[in-house]
């Protein structure tokens, strides 16, 4: 009614439906569509081969193929689940916690369907949005693999991932990123996945490391990475692919995308420097593994903040994450005594916590940030902390249940004989390197 009365008298008699038909629906811009497809490909590059090589180089040679297999197949499994029901449960319906089944098997989506972006009147093809979000879900699950590497049955990994994706990733993604989600309505800021991806996966990994237990010989036998050049290549591919991960989360090729791009670049470089200097000072020598780990720490920390902070804030986040994640890997892990094989918790959860909480302060225009409506630093820091705590608690609970289900179904851990021989030959019947 209010709309009708506001119209000029000449059109007041027309039905509203007829007026709506006169307003053309937004049409996706070809440049935005192309950018989002490129961003989707960049995130795929992050997982395979980036994450796979990063993880594969860090394990012992006898387990390299098992890690590559887990990353590759877990990524693919989650993509399939996303297209079947994941997208529908994460991004449809009115519930604050879980969605509906109206888009199961992507029902109702056509080439003409569109998804909104952050700019009024700007849309992208819904199929492209679905694919982009699929890569986020898939790489999040793949990240967890590093925590229990070298000792878990492949079948148990797949069972756990189905449970965790369905009951942990989907609700957290919805509550943070969907307009009806609980944390979204609270005003939580997570541009590209500090809570949804990194804290979520890091906590799941820590729970897995604790439930599965330490590797045979851990703490008494040296277990160095078998191929550091491969680790470096993997970290570099992650850095490149992360521009799609972060800048693609702008959902269009806009001026904001440029800010995200520069922030991702700056924070990562700062974290490499911080980890290298910190390791040099604390251990007496800088390492290639440390520099590569620092890059990932910086990428993780800037992920929730990349669209909200200025370049100065990005540099600060990178430095803070480099030092904080080094402490978690070198000190916290030793003090607590858990065997997180590839430091998923120390890098992803700790880096994600640093980035998520500090976003609440660094978004302030007084500190070079973009600002948000009705910004109050104390309130925003509380909202950010609440989002972190909810993610930690929910991920820990669902992960524990998921591991127990997998253990009950097929058993979590390989036999001692298989673990000593290496999973490549004992479980998959293959070798990465021939004698």
In this predicted structure, what is the pLDDT of residue 434? 85
Alpha-carbon distances of 435 from 57, 63, 66, 226, 431, rounded to whole Å: 18, 15, 18, 15, 9
Nearest-CA neighbor of 57 among 139, 147, 146? 146
In this predicted structure, what is the pLDDT of residue 21? 54
Is pTM beyond 0.75 here? Answer: yes
| Class of domain 30-427 as given by CATH | mainly alpha
Nearest-CA neighbor of 173 among 194, 187, 152, 158? 194
Nearest-CA neighbor of 431 among 133, 73, 65? 65
In this predicted structure, what is the pLDDT of residue 341? 97
In this predicted structure, what is the pLDDT of residue 417? 97
Question: Which DSSP string do the residues of 330-346 spell out, in sequence order?
Answer: IIIHHHHT---TT-HII
Could you say which residues of the chain have pLDDT below 70? 1-23, 435
Q: In this predicted model, what pLDDT tens digit does every residue of 263-301 receive, in sequence order?
A: 999 999 999 999 999 999 999 999 999 999 999 999 999
**Which residues have C-beta within 8 Å of that of residue 400, sequence separation ≥ 6?**
207, 211
In this predicted structure, what is the pLDDT of residue 232? 98
In this predicted structure, what is the pLDDT of residue 403? 98
CA dist., res. 399 & res. 333, Å (int): 20
In this predicted structure, what is the pLDDT of residue 22? 61
Q: In this predicted model, what pLDDT tens digit does every residue of 238-254 receive, in sequence order?
A: 999 999 999 999 999 99
Instruction: Confirm if 305 and 355 have CB atoms less than 8 A apart.
Output: yes
CA dist., res. 296 & res. 353, Å (int): 14
In this predicted structure, what is the pLDDT of residue 3? 35
């Amino acid at each position: 009614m209010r709309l009708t009365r506001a119209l000029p008298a000449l059109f007041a008699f027309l039905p509203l439906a007829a007026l709506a038909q006169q307003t053309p629906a937004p049409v996706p811009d070809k440049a935005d569509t192309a950018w989002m497809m490129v961003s989707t490909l960049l995130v795929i590059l992050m997982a395979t081969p980036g994450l796979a090589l990063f993880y594969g180089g860090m394990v012992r040679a006898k387990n390299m193929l098992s890690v590559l297999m887990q990353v590759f197949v877990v990524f693919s499994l989650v993509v399939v689940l996303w297209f079947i029901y994941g997208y529908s449960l994460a991004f449809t319906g009115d519930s604050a916690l879980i969605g509906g089944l109206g888009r199961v098997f992507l029902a109702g989506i056509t080439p003409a369907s569109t998804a909104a972006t952050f700019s009024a009147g700007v849309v992208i093809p819904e199929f492209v949005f679905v694919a982009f979000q699929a890569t986020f879900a898939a790489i999040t699950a793949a990240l967890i693999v590093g925590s229990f590497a070298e000792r878990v049955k492949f079948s148990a990994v797949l069972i756990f991932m189905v449970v965790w994706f369905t009951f942990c990733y989907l609700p957290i993604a919805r509550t943070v990123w969907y307009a009806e989600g609980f944390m979204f309505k609270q005003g939580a800021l997570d541009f590209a996945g500090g809570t949804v991806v990194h804290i979520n996966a890091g906590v799941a990994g820590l729970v897995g490391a604790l439930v599965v237990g330490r590797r045979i010989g851990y703490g008494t036998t040296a277990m160095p990475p078998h191929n550091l050049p491969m680790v470096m290549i993997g970290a570099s591919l992650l850095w490149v692919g992360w521009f799609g991960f972060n800048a693609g989360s702008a959902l269009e090729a806009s001026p904001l995308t440029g800010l995200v791009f520069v922030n991702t670049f700056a924070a990562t470089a700062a974290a490499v420097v911080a980890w290298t200097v910190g390791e040099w000072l604390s251990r007496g020598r800088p390492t290639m593994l440390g520099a590569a780990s620092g890059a990932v720490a910086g990428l993780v920390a800037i992920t929730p903040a990349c669209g909200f902070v200025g370049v100065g804030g990005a540099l600060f986040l990178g430095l803070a994450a480099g030092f904080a994640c080094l402490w978690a890997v070198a000190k916290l892990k030793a003090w607590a005594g858990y065997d997180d094989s590839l430091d998923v918790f120390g890098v992803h959860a700790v880096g994600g916590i640093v980035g998520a909480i500090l976003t609440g302060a660094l978004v302030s225009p007084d500190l070079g940030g973009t600002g948000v409506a009705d910004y109050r630093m104390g309130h925003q820091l509380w909202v950010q902390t609440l989002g972190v705590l909810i993610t930690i608690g929910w991920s820990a609970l669902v992960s524990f249940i998921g591991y127990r289900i997998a253990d009950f179904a097929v058993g979590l851990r390989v036999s001692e004989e298989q673990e000593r021989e290496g999973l490549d030959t004992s479980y998959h019947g293959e070798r990465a390197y021939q004698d």
